[in-house]
Amino acid sequence: MRTHRFLRHGALALMAALAACAASAGPADALPLPRDARTEIIGDDMRFNGASMQIVRFDTADAQATEGFYRDFFVRHGRAGKSVVNERNGARVLSGIQDGRLITAEFAGAVGATSVLVSSMVLAEMRNPEELAPQAPRMPGTTVVQVIESRDGPVRNTVTSMRNNQTVEGNAMYLRAQMLRAGWSRQRDHTEQTQVARQLLFTRDGKESLVDIRRMDNGETYIVMNETQR
């Protein structure tokens, strides 16, 4: 498994799908896939806010037919035969509940084809993300949005996504001070765009922590902390 944009950017589309679907218990099962899909496994040992999760990706030359496959799947197998569509960051996300699992299919443009990211998550296992990030430094008033944990052999990866109403620079100064105080060494501190985007990189004891801080159009600041242990 390689680090994918799903892990790097915190799966905000999945959060939108969660907001539209209520949880119910049920077993995990195989992901629904078109018969001719040639898949790439993005994650087969993952947890999203504590819930077991699977993710695969494939390309399709006929996005309309592939979306029709998932709409038909939810009509036949989804709870009450319903599905929800969300648009986020240029991607179209179709989601629904099947046997207690949240199933999502995210469609995004790619060169010569459409990339489809399909995920499945056991809703009954979800926990409050605040409980899963006790060590993540954050300014007062910061909300932990989600925690994604994954493992690929000996490599462990934890992506903690947070948001607040503080400035990019204020967050960067606070996080830098807290990380240095905790014994991390700063390797990079790069301002991509003043007041809008900044990235910091720290290392400690075989671990790497990459922090992306970005000001969003709605006025909130998102902080994504990607910690890798090798």
User: Domain spans of the chain?
Assistant: 5-125, 129-229
Identify the bridge partners of residue 55 per DSSP, sorted by sequence position: 43, 119
If one looks up domain 129-229 in CATH, what number appears?
3.30.310
If one looks up domain 5-125 in CATH, what number appears?
3.40.1000
Report pTM.
0.75
Cα–Cα distance between 14 and 128 in angstroms, integer? 15
Helix (H, G, I), strand (E, B) or coil at 106: strand
Place of tokens 């014994």: 183
Q: What is the mean pLDDT of each run of 10 residues along the chain (230 residues)?
A: 45 49 44 90 84 92 94 94 86 92 90 88 94 94 95 90 97 97 96 94 97 96 96
Cα–Cα distance between 3 and 159 in angstroms, integer? 11
